[in-house]
Homo-oligomer: A and B are copies of this chain.
Amino acid sequence: MKLTKEQEQDIKDQQSLENKTKRVTSSALEKILYTALPVLDHGFVRVIDYMGDDTSIVQSARVSYGKGTKKVSTDEGLIKYLMRHWHSTPFEMCEIKYHIKLPIFIARQWIRHRTANVNEYSARYSILDKEFYIPSKDQLSAQSKSNRQGRGALITGEQADEVLKILKDDATRTYDNYEKMLNERFDGTIIDENKDGLARELARMNLTLNSYTQWYWKTDLLNLLNFLFLRADTHAQYEIRVYAEAMLETVKKWVPITHAAFLDYRVGAVHVSAKGKKVIQQMAKGKQVTYESSGLSKREWNELMTSFEFTEKII
C-alpha cells in the first residue's frame, strides 16, 4: 500500500484533531482512527468515524425492555443474551464509517450487501489511479475440482509466471490506452494539446477489473456483523476475506464485548437442521448412526460431520 503525499497529509491532519465531546467514545478505536490498515498490494481500510460503543447497545436494550433488563446483572450478560436470541435492533444503534481502497472485482461482490451507505470515487468525473491488484504467488490457485466457486491447489512454476505476466501486461496496456484515449495522464498532464480526449465516462470501460477504486462505506453494527459473518468466512474469496479480517479487528477494538459474543454465537457456531438434530441426538445417546439410516443426503451428512469435526465418519 502506497499513499500519495496528499493522502498522508490528510491522515495526519485528521489525526491531529483533538475535540471535546459529551458523546460516548471508544478509546481503543480512537487510537487507530484514520489510520490506513494495509490490505492486499495497494488496498487499505481506514475507520474514519463511528457512533456508539458496547454501552450504546445496552442502553437501547434497556429502553426497549425497561425495568425488565435490570435482572441481567451485567452489560456483558445482556449483550450475550441479545446476540444468542437474535435480537437485532439494539445492534443497529451503533454506526461506523470506513474509507476503503479495493479492486473493482471485489467492489462488485461487496456492493451486493445493500444495507450500507456508499460514496464511491467516480470515474465519470475523475481519472482512476494507475494501480491494479496482482495476486502474490501464494494466492495463485487453480480452480477447485470439487467446489465450483472455490480454489484448489497452487499453480506454480512457469504457468504461475505466465499468469502473473498476463495480469501485469494486460492491466498496464489497458491503462496506457485509457490515458491515450483520454489524451491525459493520471496526473493531469495533457498528452497532445491539439486533441480532445474521449469522455471519461467512456474511456473507463477499457480498464480491467483488477483496477483499484475507493469508497466511503458506512453501516450499522448489525449489518456490519452480517457482512463479516459471510465475508470473513473460509468460503469467502480470499481477496474479500482479507478486508473482512482487517475490519473484524476494528470491531474488536470498538465493541469488544459484542465482538466476543459474535465469535461465540456466530463465527464459531454450528447450524444443525431438523434432520441433523436427530443424528446428533442418537450419537449423544451412544447409538450408532450411519449415513444410510440418517435420512440425510451425502452432502448434508458430510457437512454435518465436518461442522462438528467428526472427520472419521465422512464418506
Contacts and interface: CB of A to CB of B under 8 A. Distances in A.
Contact of A274 (B89, B167, B268, B310): B268
Interface string A93-118: 10101010001110110011011011
A137 interface: no
B215 A63 contact: yes
Interface in A1-24: 14-15, 17-24
Nearest to A268: B274
A313 to B, nearest CB: 10
Contacts of A142: 196-199
Interface string A122-159: 10111100000101000111111000111111010001
A247 B188 CA distance: 38
A188 B66 CA distance: 12
B141 A202 contact: yes
B220 A149 contact: no
Given A21-B30, A271-B271, A119 B61 contact: yes
A23 B97 CA distance: 11
Contact of A119 (B60, B120, B140): B60
B274 A206 contact: no
A277 interface: yes
User: 7 closest pairs, A vs B, by CB?
Assistant: A268-B274, A66-B126, A142-B196, A68-B125, A92-B117, A205-B210, A51-B51
Contact of A14 (B22, B84, B272): B22
B104 A196 contact: no
Given A208-B208, A277-B308, 4 more contacts: A18-B20, A23-B25, A126-B148, A268-B274
Interface of A: 14-15, 17-25, 30, 33-34, 49-52, 56, 60-61, 63-69, 71, 77, 80-81, 84, 86, 89-90, 92-93, 95, 97, 99, 103-105, 107-108, 111-112, 114-115, 117-122, 124-127, 133, 135, 139-144, 148-153, 155, 159, 163, 166-167, 170-171, 173-174, 177, 180-182, 188, 195-202, 204-210, 214-216, 218, 220, 230, 237, 263-265, 267-277, 280-281, 283-284, 286, 297, 299-300, 303, 308-310
Given A125-B65, A308-B280, A208 B210 contact: no
